[in-house]
Amino acid sequence: MRFLKSDQLKIQVLKHVQDNKWHSYYEIQQSLGINYNSLKKHMDFLESLGLVELSLVSPDESSTGKGSYRTKITDAGKILIKKLSK
């Protein structure tokens, strides 16, 4: 199956978070080499499909004192990754 570059990136993001742990946007950006705005758009899309869960970390909870986002895969996201791996 052939995918657009943007679709391939979304798949990379899902594979990166498939361990069911929370991942910061910063960590994902560093690992995949993409900028924040691009990642945010992809994550919003994946969330709208129910493939990831997003959480806002308040400035009080953050080690940097700035609000940030984190994400983890959903069961639907895990199923999709399994299907794509076949």
65-72: long-range contacts (C-beta < 8 A, 24 or more apart)? 68/24, 68/25, 68/26, 69/24, 69/25, 69/40, 69/43, 70/22, 70/23, 70/24, 70/25, 71/17, 71/22, 71/23, 71/25, 71/28, 71/43, 71/47, 72/17, 72/20, 72/21, 72/22, 72/23
The mean pLDDT of the chain is 91
Structural domain harbouring 13 = 5-85
Number of domains the chain is built from: 1
pLDDT of residue 68: 84
Residue 59: predicted pLDDT: 80
pTM: 0.87
In the structure, what pLDDT confidence band is assigned to residue 45 with cuts at 50, 70 and 90? very high
User: Looking at residue 36, which CATH number applies to its domain?
Assistant: 1.10.10.10
